[in-house]
Structure 1
Amino acid sequence: MPKILIIEDSNLVRLKIKSVLENSGFKDIIETNSADLIVDKPYVYLQNVELIIMDISLPGISGIEAAYWLKTNINYSKIPVIFLSGTSDSITVKNALKAGGVDYIVKPFEEMDLIKRVSHIIGRPQNIPKDTSLTIDIDEAKKIISIEYSRSVRGKQPVSFIIMKVNNDIEESINKITKTLRQIDQIFILTRKKILLVLPLTDESGLKVVVDKIEKRLNIKGKDDILKKITYLGDENLSLEELINDMLN
């Protein structure tokens, strides 16, 4: 079972994170209140760790500084980091992702959101059933968009969506597209020839980069195959209903 390290200076928050994960089936969890310890004694705290959930504002070195240290250390550079912070300004989020974070969750967090993000990166515990099908219906698509919309509003963070048609073998196309995505990005089959991509923490410039990569990977032209693409910036200028209508109608 994947080993998870929690680095959070608030005892209450740290214990809540641990409790939420344990109740969801994740059992191999260690915790500490300082990132200094993983730098000073990585052989103790990072042994077999497959995911780090880390605050940014910590005593001693910050979470971002610790992530940079991990990123430049060949022995630990592959460990994914989820930042969990009360800070949601765009500069901090960008700095955290630049430092090597694969996801950024704003406190106070929703329990199911945390479980979803952790499961997406390291998989669900074996004792919890998981539907491995990527195929969803229109109601499930609406629910997914609604969850990401709420997360974006709460954290004031961008999220982007793409709906595109696939003319070739859909499994082969999905495999190619997946190679252009990050661990936190999601891909779903809407119909036999249409897919939905969900790109958290992705603004308009990031969306353009993803679209360019997909077009190159699949050797397609966006105007013909990228049916819809939209970025929501976490403000309330666009309602959930408008977003769903724009994407799915």
Structure 2
Amino acid sequence: MQTPETNLILIVDDTPTNLEVLSEALTDAGFEVAVATSGESAIEQIEYDPPYLILLDIMMPGIDGFETCYRLKQNPQTKDIPVIFMTALSDTVDKVKGLSLGAVDYITKPFQQAEVLARVQIHVNLRNLNLALAEKNLRLEQEIKERAIAEAALQQLTHNLEQRVLERTQKLADALCTLEKAQIQLVQSEKLATLGQLVAGIAHEINNPVNFIHANLYYVSRYTQNLLELLKLYQNQLPKATPEILAKSKEIDLQYLLEDLPKILSSMEVGTERICDIIKSLRSFSRHDEAEVKVVDVHEGIESTLMILRRHLEAKPGQPKIQVFKEYGNLPKVECYPGKMNQVFMNVLSNAIDALTEAMDNYPSYVRSPMIRIMTEVLGSDRIAIRIADNGLGIPENIQKRIFDPFFTTKPAGKGTGLGMSISHQIITELHCGSLQCISQPGKGAEFVVEIPIQQPQLCHTGVVKQKFLSSPTQLDRKPAYQGLPIMVKADQK
């Protein structure tokens, strides 16, 4: 709090006697005193040397005390200086007017020195208290601002920390999900690799002896035909056979044997051709799963897949045969990973067969003629499309949104892993830079559209993409340890 020695009191009065009496009393009380004889001079003096308190006479020439007080209170720099009116007026109206203009007190003339000093001291103390309170309020406001800034910074820091925690948690969750997917894909790839090696090995070992049988059936058929012709020639030249020959002919039913033997050989030839086709399809399906792109005929991959799935297309008790309609376009040979593409064809066609089978089991009257339609076409100049559609019950929209999600399946537990379509989608989109779409409406079947470029962009052959899909030992065309029998074809001696 300021001391009285530092408190300047301004006395404004046009009467010299009043100025002298008040100045002497205040100076004796320890106050510093300044005087002014008019309102105008008081305002000018206050602008360059503001007092601590003003004793202001009302009745003065020029502007009176009321006007002077009004002007002081209108000025932001002087409005807080306490003003005490000095007047001989005792009318309540005048006092109210003065107080309403901003005065803090009244001193009536003639002066009582003790009263003047008491009132001045009270208002000086009040002034000191107000200034101290204002300073504390200012400090408090500053502290509040600083705390608000600190709290905002703390909140921002907390938000940033929470955001970083969320981001790190999300990254860890994504990494875990990616790891799980990679593990599942690795297991799946290992299974396919093992299955492919098994299929390739069996096909290779069966191929040689079957080729041996199939190739020599031609000569067996010719030799048999020659023997039958010779036998007929004997019958014509020697019509009277001996009793032993007649008995043996009857025993073996010679006439039936002559008719049935060519049919049997013809059936055997057809059967071996069928086995050769199956082996060819197995080898075509299981081969080429190397880490390099091959230029292949996509139709061969589709046909080999259909050959493997042929048993599932056949009619079953209470169910008709699933018809397959092919509308192949004039496709050029395509750069792709044939084994992976065959895996996609297998997944899509297997799902179509399962959907039709389920529909026939649960709604036999709805699907009377189950069919799968396969269409291929060239899109523009650089892409091809393979469309595989069925006339089953279709796929609801909520399932379509998740059909390519890992581990999502609508099949009962133990009948599906939920990885087939997810892996197929990754094979097409990430490994071949293509697209795999599902188009379906409930009650109108489902169609899967595969689009891939005819020539694979270099982007799809980067190490990261190849490592993701081809790092496991999935080369299914490895030679088995057993090389098989050599092909034995007996040459025509002629």
Q: TM-score, normalised by structure 2?
A: 0.24
> Bigger relative contact order, structure 1 or 2, given CA contacts below 8 A and separation 6+?
1
- Report the structure number with the largest CA radius of gyration: 2
More strand by share: 1
More helix by share: 2
Q: TM-score, normalised by structure 1?
A: 0.47
